[in-house]
Each structure stands twice: as C-alpha cells, then as structure tokens.
C-alpha cells in the first residue's frame, strides 16, 4: 500500500505517494528527479547515496521513507552552489579529486557532517569519520587533502 | 571552455548546423575556385561522411571560431579530455579554452577503440594531433588564398592568421571556415579501433614549439561533479521510460524452466521478459522493478555445480589441460643452460580472480524509436563496439544503432557495462518502451567479467659465481579473453550467452615486460579452459592492466628472491642486468627520491611485532617505464599491512599534462594497493559468493598510503606512451618485496590480507 509523504528537500517541500518501505534514494532520484545521490550498493556499504537528514549524513539507499519523518533532507546539490560553494566543494575543485566521480556524495556529505560538528579534526578523526566509504578509482589521497583543506578553510 | 561535452540530445549535425553547415572542399592545391564552390557544395546537401578518412570526422571550426574535437575514445576519470584538448589547441594555434572535446558518441566520432590499453594519448592523441595539424595546414592555405600572400609568409595566433611582416593583414579561422565542414581526405590506414591512423599532409609541431602541451591545466568537469550538475549514465531519463532488473541463476549454468508471472501480478506494471536463459523484469517504477525481481518465483534447471572448491583453485589451474601455449620471447638455449647451472632457484606465485567491482553496478538506457532507430546510452569503455553488439543482438543493421557515451559508475576494463547495454536492448525490444536497466550490487561484483586467476612458475639457473645463466618464466592461467575485451559479439556478452549463443572462448595472456639481459631466457604463457562454457560469473577478461599486475608480481618478486639469494641489494642486482637507459633511469630516479639505502634484504635488527621494510619493483608497458619503491609497516601479531609510502618514477615519453598524469598515477597506486592487500573473488561450487563490499573488501581510507611521491621523467622528444595502467603493474611486487625486507618471509600469493599474512609469518 502506498502512502503520502511530504519530503523537504534542499528547502522545498514535495508531496509524493509511495511505498513506505521504499528507500529514500528512489524517492529522491525517481520521484523528485534529483540525480545527485547515486545507487552504489543498496546495502549502506559504500556511501554513494549519502544525504543529510537534519544535518546528519545518512545512507538514503537503506533509509525507508517511513523512517524519514519530518527530517529536512539536504543533498549534494543543496549543500552549496557554484555561487555559494560549501568549503568541501571548493576544496574538491582545488585538489582536483575526481576520477569517475560516482562516489562523491559519500565523501563530501559525510565530511560535511563531520566538519559541521568538529572544528579542525585530526587526520585520524577525518579518516575515522570517512571509514567505510568506498572509492573504487583510488582517489583517497586527494580526498584526504581536500577534507583537510576544507577544514582549514572553516578554521 | 574546454570540457567534454555531454549534451547527448545534441547530435553532431545539430552542432554544426547551428553555425550553418557547409562543406569546404580542400584538395591540393587550394585556390580561390575551391572557396567559391563552398556554396555549391552546401546547396547539393553534400556533407562529408563520418568516416576515418575525413578530416571533418576529427576537427571542425564553429562560426564563432571555437573548435570541436571529435574523439573516438573517452575519459574514464583520468581527465584525458583535457590532454586531448591541449594537443588539438596546440596544433591549431587556438586558445585551449576554444576547444571542446566530444567523446565517443557513435554519431559524432569514429571508432578509435574506446578506452583501451592506455592508448588514449599514445594512439588516440596521436591521431588528434595529426588531424589538428592538417586542419591548421589547410586553414593556412585558405588564408593564403584569401589574403593573396604565400603560405610561408603567414603565422597563426589564437585562431587568427596574420601576415608575418604586415599585422594589418589577417583573417580568422572563423571567417575562413567557421560553421562549415572541412572536405579534406586523410591517408587512413584502413584500421578501426586503437590502430586507426589517418594523417594528412602536415607534420605536427616539434616539441620545442609547444606552449599548451606540457601545461598543468585543470579539469573543468570537477566543478559540475561536486555541485551535482553532471549526469551519469544512471541519470538518463527518456519519456515513457520503464525500469528493468535482470535475474541471474543461483547455480551458474542453470536456466529457468518455469517462471510464475502471477507471483508479481500485484506489482504495478510489472512484466517478465524470459527467453531461454535470459530472464528480466520491468516495471514502471524502479523500486517496483527491484521488488519484482526479488518476488518472482522461478524454477531453475538442475545444473551441476560447475566450480571447484575455492581452496583448490590453484591446484585446478596446475592440473588443467593446456589449451594454448605461447613462447613470446626466447633467446639462447634455456634448457641446456639450466642443465649446466651450478644452482637453480625456483618459485611459484598465485593470483586470484579479481572483480572490477565498479563503484556502482552497470546501467544502460535503450530506446527503440518508431522508425526502428535504436538509441542506447551506455557507460561502456567501447561505445562503437557496443553499437555493433546491440545491433547483432537485436538482429538489425549497425547503422540503425546510436550509442551515446555517458560517464558510468567507474570502469577499469571490460566490466559489466557492455552486458548491461545488450540486456537493456532486449528488454526494450520486448516491452516496446524505453528501458533503463541497472544491475544490482550482487550482480555488479558477482557477475562482471573477472580478471583471470593465474599461477606463475619462475626458475633461474646460476653459475658458480652467482650470475644468472638461465631464466624461465611461465604463467598458467585462465584466459584474459575468455570473453573478449568488448561486447561487439553476442558470444562475448551475458545477453548473447543467456540467449543461447555458444561461447567462443579466446586465448590470451602475456609475459613480463622488462629488459633483464639474461643469456638464456624464455618468457611464455599457457591458458586453460574456462570453468563453465556458458554464461559464467567467473568468465575472465580485461581488468586494469590486464594480467600485468599478476605477471609482474611474480617476475619482480622473483628477481628479488634471486638478489636475496646472492646477498645483493635489490636495486644493485637489477642494474647489473638492465642496460636499457630509460629503464635504468626510472630505477635510479625512484631509488634517489626514496633515499634508498644500499643493502641486501631482509633488513637486520628489527625486533617486536611492528616491523618496517622497503621494496623495489619495475616494469615496462608499451613504451612506458615505471619503477616503484614501496615502504610498508607490518604488525606481525595481526598480519595487518600498511603500505605507507610509495615513490614512483614514471617515464611515458612526452608529458601532455603533468598534474593529470600525477593524479592518474596516484589512482593506479591506490587501486594497486587495494588489489594486492585485499582483493580476491570468493566462490563456492555453485557461484561467486563475493557479492558486495563486505564479501569483496577493497582498500579503506584508514589504510590509504600516507604519501605517493611521483617523480615524472619528461622526454618531450619521445612520442607519448600510455599512463592509464603502467603504474599499477609493479605495485604488488614492490609491496611483497618490502614485506620480505621487513620480515624475511616471502609471500607468493595475493591478496596479502591480514589472515594470509599472519599465516605466512607464523
């Protein structure tokens, strides 16, 4: 049975009708047409689908709609814009991180959660927060540089 | 702005018609007649065909003077399009930002082989360089005619041709040809793919005149990625599109014998598509397609479990019949030399099946138009081959299929992308609607073509003074082309195989690429049959630097073993036998940058559980040379290895973009560490059991090397060779040699996971 859900995404509220068991990822991608959270595993193992729920990095592929409640949802597109970039977005560009770029949501959204709550984290704290997120192209060294650069920018 | 253009709705025709598409016929000599005939050519509707022998197939100048470069390869993440833009801008004498590189769409580019064998710059860039040089030559001749000044009195800057001694006389490329096509024939060698070469009459500039080539120009596609403005193949949407999912058997080789449509009748729009072993579902919504694939009741045929026990894999390879044996290199009298050797050292190395395990499972969108035209959006590395594969699968002429390339979720060779395009085409044909198909994670890891498992037997015969007088290297392995490196033939795709097309397993492997000058030396390989002669989750094909990591793990570990047996320093021993100057140079450069201490391995005087070591390995790859020094820390108690630091000396001839090259090498090293320390496809008798990131672990960020120090050796005078793969090649051996240095224990089987290392050390 489907139910109505009001989802507030990047500041705009949308009403959709969907299976309450459906993971948030499919609502964002297929119902709202947002392309940024990606399907990587559907098992909360890789991070490619990461969004913020009330600021907390959350794997949307394993978060059923019924669990979203009234949480404000932020996606990578809502984190910053070319005009008003989040420091992590600026740092990613400065460090030229990507290879394929499919994993970016996991790293930036998770790091944004960390940096919002922890000023000047140590390298070990950064690695600990990002542990488990996958990048298959092997951009880890640049990712760490970018997160450290963003942390310094946010001082 | 130079970037790779991804507006897939924009056909090539639309791009140029926007500027008023005309055809400019340039035969030699160029004269006023040709220019006056431009209008006539346009009136007749003439347009050069998209064939490799036409300059217009590579280069076009738009009405505003910007340049389109049509490149029949693609960037899989290294930033190749930047380098191609640099090469084209350099030869044409236009600003870098004036060039847009269009990649790999089959209606805009000719088949230059796709992403293949690290040839993006080596072969693809070479062709673009010659095409751009020819375009410049033709434009100068046109300017000569227009300005009534001999061509040798003209110069070009920023796309404007000016008389050398009279700056008041000039004409722009835009004015000369903007918005119109070149009609210039090139001397095509009649080859498609990587080997395609079609030069014009012009010679490219000497490297001494390069101003744009060699610069560390940044990628313009990073910002769209971080602002979520770039679409991947997974993001393509078509009107009326439905979603598909495929279903694979629980026992490899089994086929459905009964499928109960009723089991999914409650799911809106859910339909079953079943033909022999091909079984998929579609539904209007993606989540419904996923549910339908899970809920569908299927009775499978009784298939004999086809696979050996995992623990018996290497014994299986040892005992398997040899299907093909190739001695690629042999000098001297190897067998005789071994007989007279005072001492023989031998060792055997083992490498498991590995998965591409791309960041996301493959995705493709296929739409069959009412006029029979088929549109396919794919993340494949080989769009032109997918075009042929989709056409053959659907039984239609290849001209009716257009494949648009979109960045996929990672690609390191023949992954699951080509299969996905074929499967999506079959689903679209069956349901008469555009279909977006994405595999699930377990299929992406479990059912992609695998890097082949192998064993490597190496022997060295030494004389009484310890000199190597005989050397014999033999790999025995599953083939690198059990399924081919592209999906152009139905027998090479899961689509074709599940539909009953018989597998045509090919034979291929390789030998070490090095320059050790041993008097009696033989390098050979043998391939064995696949474990299952039809749709198999352990079919083998190309995974980054196909078979390079496994071969050089063995060959460069073994050289270290021989050095250790001599009590020789590993670098000093290598240099005793290597005379090729560029090989010597990379090894010396790596040693110097790593502050290599000359001494034999293993290191002396380390006590306790935490020990450290250093190791060297080197390799060639199609002209490129790489030497790597790895520095590792090992916890003997847990078996955990931290590959802490790498020093990489890299010589690929002329460097087009040093920053892009450095990033490319970093990715190779990190992925190489992952494959060395962690990666092994697990399977049971029935199927592959590595189906996600828990069962196929890769490197975690907590294990990332603290430093990858890249030393680039630039040879502007030597044509560029590849960089996409060479530096992953020696990683495993460098780590293995460092472990030996730290512990005195030689590990001869990958991966060096904590369990394996702990067992080896105990």
A49: phi then psi, degrees, rounded to nearest 5 = -100, 10
DSSP notation for B284-323 = SSHHHHHHHHHH-EEEE---------GGGHHHHHHHSPPS
pLDDT higher than 80, residue B668: yes
User: Which chain B residue has its CA at the smallest distance from A89's CA?
Assistant: B226
In sequence order, what are the beta bridge partners of B645? Answer: B631, B707
Asked if A33 is an interface residue toward chain B (Cβ–Cβ < 8 A), one would say yes
Same-domain check for residues A113 and A132? yes
Average pLDDT score, chain B: 94
Assess B644–A contact: CB distance below 8 Å, yes or no: no
Q: What is the pLDDT of residues B186-231, one digit of tens each?
A: 999 999 999 999 999 999 999 999 999 999 999 999 999 999 998 9
Q: Which fold has domain B4-209?
A: Aldehyde Oxidoreductase; domain 4 (3.30.365)
* Pairing of the two strands B363-368 and B435-438: antiparallel
Q: What percent of chain B has pLDDT over 70?
A: 94
| pLDDT < 50 positions in chain A | none
Do A73 and A10 share a structural domain? Answer: yes
Q: Based on the domain organization, do A7 and A70 belong to the same domain?
A: yes
Peptide bond into B546 cis (omega under 30): no
Quick check: A96 contacting B, CB < 8 Å?
yes
Predicted model pTM: 0.95
Q: What is the pLDDT of residue B17?
A: 36
Query: Looking at residue B564, what is its pLDDT?
Result: 97
Reported as a single tens digit per residue, the pLDDT across B573-625 is: 999 999 999 999 999 999 999 999 999 999 999 999 999 999 999 999 999 99
DSSP label at B445?
H
Secondary structure class of B431 (helix, strand, coil): helix
Q: How close B706 comes to chain A (CA, Å)? A: 8
Instruction: Supply the range of the domain harboring residue A65.
Output: 3-77
Contact call for B227 and A19, based on CB within 8 A: no
Per-residue pLDDT, B28:
39
Look up residue B739 and give its DSSP letter: H
Query: What are the pLDDT digits (tens) for B522-555?
Result: 999 999 999 999 999 999 999 999 999 999 999 9
Continuous segment of H or E residues that includes residue B574: helix B570-577
Distances (CA, A) of B437 to A102, B289, B291, B422: 17, 10, 14, 10
Quote the pLDDT of residue B557.
98
Q: Give the pLDDT confidence of B132-165 residue by residue, as tens digits.
A: 999 999 999 999 999 999 999 999 999 999 999 9
At A51, which CATH number? 3.10.20.30
- Rounded average pLDDT over B410-435: 97
Of B287, B669, B674, the CB nearest to A26: B287
Write the class of the CATH domain B234-303+356-446.
alpha beta
Of A29, A75, A93, which is closest to B226 when you measure between CB atoms? A93
On whether the CB atoms of residues B89 and B156 are closer than 8 A, the answer is no
Asked whether residue B45 carries a pLDDT value surpassing 50, the answer given is: no
For the ranges A127-131, B13-17, B66-70, which has the lowest average pLDDT? B13-17
Overall fold of domain B548-761: Aldehyde Oxidoreductase; domain 4 (3.30.365)
Chain B closest-CA separation from residue A44 CA (Å): 10
C-alpha–C-alpha distance, residues B713 and B736, integer Å: 25
DSSP bridge partners of B103: B71
Beta strands, E only, B511-566: 521-528
Q: How many domains does one find in chain A?
A: 2
CATH number at residue A103: 1.10.150.120
Which whole-number Å values give the CA distances from B606 to B448, B646, B719, B745, in the listed order?
43, 21, 46, 13
Whole-number Å distance between alpha carbons of B564 and B731: 19
Q: What is the pLDDT of residue B479?
A: 98
> Does residue B19 surpass a pLDDT of 70?
no
> What pLDDT was estimated at residue B48?
83
What is the band of B466 on the pLDDT scale with cuts at 50, 70, 90? confident
Q: For residue B370, what pLDDT is reported?
A: 97
The answer as to whether A82 is a domain residue is no
Note whether A57 and A100 are same-domain residues: no
B703-713 pLDDT, tens digit per residue, is 999 999 999 99
Token pair listed for A62? 């394993």
Reduced to 3 states, what is the DSSP secondary structure of residue B223? helix
Q: How high is the ipTM of this complex? A: 0.98
Residues from chain A that touch B412, judged by Cβ atoms under 8 A, are 136
In B444-541, the DSSP E strands lie at: 454-462, 468-478, 521-528
Report how far residue B83's alpha carbon sits from residue B88's, in angstroms, rounded to the nearest whole number: 9
Give the model's confidence band at B636: pLDDT under 50 very low, under 70 low, under 90 confident, else very high.
very high
Range from B5-19, B605-619, B636-650, B673-687 carrying the lowest mean pLDDT: B5-19
Residue A102: phi and psi, rounded to 5, are -70, -25
A with B: how many residue pairs have Cβ under 8 Å apart? 174
DSSP letter string, A73-127: EE-HHHH--SSS--HHHHHHHHHT--SS-TTHHHHHHHHHHHHHH-SS--HHHHH
Torsional class of B448: left (φ above 0), alpha (ψ -120 to 50), beta (otherwise): beta
Whether the pLDDT of residue B27 is over 60: the answer is no
Which chain A positions have a beta carbon within 8 Å of B231's beta carbon?
35
d(CA B55, CA B15): 17
Q: How far apart are CA B24 and CA B179, in angstroms?
A: 10
Task: Give residue limits of the domains in chain B.
Answer: 4-209, 234-303+356-446, 548-761
- What would the two tokens of residue B482 be? 């059990």
**Rounded Cα gap, residues B19 and B180, in angstroms:** 7
């Amino acid at each position: 049975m489907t139910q109505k859900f009001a989802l507030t995404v990047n500041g705009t509220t949308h009403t959709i009708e969907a299976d309450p068991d459906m993971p948030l990822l499919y609502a964002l991608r297929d119902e709202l047409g947002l392309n940024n959270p990606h399907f990587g595993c559907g098992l909360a193992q890789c991070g490619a689908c990461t969004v913020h729920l009330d600021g907390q990095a959350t794997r949307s592929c394993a978060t059923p709609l019924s669990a979203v409640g009234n949480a404000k949802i932020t996606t990578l597109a809502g984190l910053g814009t070319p005009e008003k970039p989040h420091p992590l977005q600026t740092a990613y560009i400065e460090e030229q991180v990507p290879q394929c770029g499919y994993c970016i949501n996991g790293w930036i959204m998770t790091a944004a959660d960390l940096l919002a709550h922890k000023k000047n984290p140590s390298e070990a704290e950064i690695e600990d927060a990002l542990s488990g997120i996958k990048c298959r192209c092997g951009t880890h060294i640049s990712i760490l540089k970018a997160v450290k650069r963003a942390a310094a920018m946010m001082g | 702005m130079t970037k790779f253009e991804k507006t897939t709705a924009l056909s090539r025709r639309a791009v140029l018609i926007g500027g008023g598409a005309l055809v400019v016929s340039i035969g030699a000599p160029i004269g006023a007649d040709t220019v006056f005939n431009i209008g006539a050519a346009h009136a007749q509707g003439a347009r050069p065909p998209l064939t490799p022998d036409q300059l217009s197939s590579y280069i076009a100048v738009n009405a505003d003077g910007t340049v389109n470069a049509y490149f029949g390869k693609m960037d899989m993440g290294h930033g190749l399009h930047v380098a191609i833009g640099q090469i084209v801008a350099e030869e044409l004498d236009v600003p870098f930002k004036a060039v847009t590189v269009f990649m790999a769409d089959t209606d805009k580019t000719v088949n230059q082989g796709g992403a293949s064998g690290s040839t993006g710059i080596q072969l693809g860039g070479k062709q673009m360089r010659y095409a751009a040089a020819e375009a410049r030559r033709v434009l100068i001749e046109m300017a000569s005619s227009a300005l009534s000044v001999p061509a040798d009195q003209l110069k070009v800057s920023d796309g404007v041709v000016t008389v050398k001694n009279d700056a008041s006389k000039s004409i722009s490329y835009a004015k000369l040809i903007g918005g119109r096509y070149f009609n210039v024939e090139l001397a095509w060698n009649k080859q498609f793919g990587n080997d395609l070469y079609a030069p014009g009459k012009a010679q490219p500039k000497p490297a001494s005149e390069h101003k744009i080539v060699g610069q560390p120009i940044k990628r313009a596609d990073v910002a769209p990625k971080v602002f979520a403005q770039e679409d991947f193949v997974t993001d393509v949407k078509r009107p009326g599109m439905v979603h598909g999912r495929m279903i694979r058997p629980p026992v490899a080789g089994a086929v459905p014998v009964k499928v109960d449509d009723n089991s999914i009748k409650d799911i809106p729009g859910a339909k079953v598509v079943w033909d022999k072993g091909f079984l998929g579902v579609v539904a209007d919504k993606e989540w419904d397609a996923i549910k339908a694939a899970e809920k569908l009741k299927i009775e499978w045929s009784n298939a004999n479990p086809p696979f050996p026990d995992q623990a018996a894999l290497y014994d299986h390879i040892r005992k398997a019949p040899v299907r093909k044996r190739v001695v690629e290199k042999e000098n001297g009298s190897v067998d005789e030399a071994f007989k007279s050797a005072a001492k023989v050292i031998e060792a055997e190395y083992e490498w498991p099946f590995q998965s591409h395990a791309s960041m996301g499972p493959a995705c493709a969108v296929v739409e069959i138009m009412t006029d029979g035209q088929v549109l396919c959006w794919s993340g494949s590395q080989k769009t032109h081959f997918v075009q042929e594969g989709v056409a053959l699968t659907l039984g239609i002429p290849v001209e009716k299929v257009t494949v648009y390339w979109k960045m996929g979720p990672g690609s390191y060779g023949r992954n699951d992308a080509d299969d996905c395009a074929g499967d999506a085409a079959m689903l679209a044909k069956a349901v008469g609607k555009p279909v977006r198909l994405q595999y699930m994670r377990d299929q992406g890891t479990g059912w992609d073509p695998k890097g082949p498992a192998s064993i490597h037997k190496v022997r060295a015969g030494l004389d009484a003074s310890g000199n190597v007088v005989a050397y014999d290297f033999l790999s025995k392995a599953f083939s690198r082309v059990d399924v081919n490196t592209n999906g152009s033939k139905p027998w090479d795709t899961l689509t074709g195989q599940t539909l009953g097309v018989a597998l045509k397993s090919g034979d291929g492997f390789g030998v070490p690429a090095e320059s050790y000058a041993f008097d009696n030396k033989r390098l050979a390989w043998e391939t064995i049959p696949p474990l299952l002669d039809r749709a198999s989750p352990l079919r083998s094909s190309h995974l980054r630097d196909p078979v390079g990591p496994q071969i050089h793990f063995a060959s460069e570990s073994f050289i270290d073993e021989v050095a250790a047996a001599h009590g020789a320093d590993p670098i000093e021993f290598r240099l005793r036998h290597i005379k090729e100057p560029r090989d010597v140079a990379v090894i010396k450069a790596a040693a110097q940058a790593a502050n290599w201490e000359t001494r034999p391995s293993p290191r002396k005087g380390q006590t306790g559980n935490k020990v450290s070591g250093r190791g060297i390995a080197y390799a060639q790859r199609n002209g490129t040379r790489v030497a790597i020094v790895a520095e590792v820390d090992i916890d003997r108690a847990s078996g955990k290895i931290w590959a802490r630091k790498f020093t990489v000396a890299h010589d690929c001839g002329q460097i087009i973009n040093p920053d892009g090259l450095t990033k490319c090498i970093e990715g190779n090293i990190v992925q190489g560490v992952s494959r060395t320390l962690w990666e092994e496809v697990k399977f049971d008798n029935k199927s592959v059991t590595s189906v996600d990131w828990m069962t196929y672990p890769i490197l975690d960020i907590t294990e990332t090397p603290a430093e990858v120090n890249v030393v680039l050796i630039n040879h502007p005078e030597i044509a560029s060779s590849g960089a996409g793969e060479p530096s992953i090649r020696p990683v495993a051996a460098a780590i293995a040699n460092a472990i030996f240095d730290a512990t005195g224990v030689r590990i001869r089987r990958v991966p060096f996971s904590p369990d394996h290392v702990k067992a080896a050390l105990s």
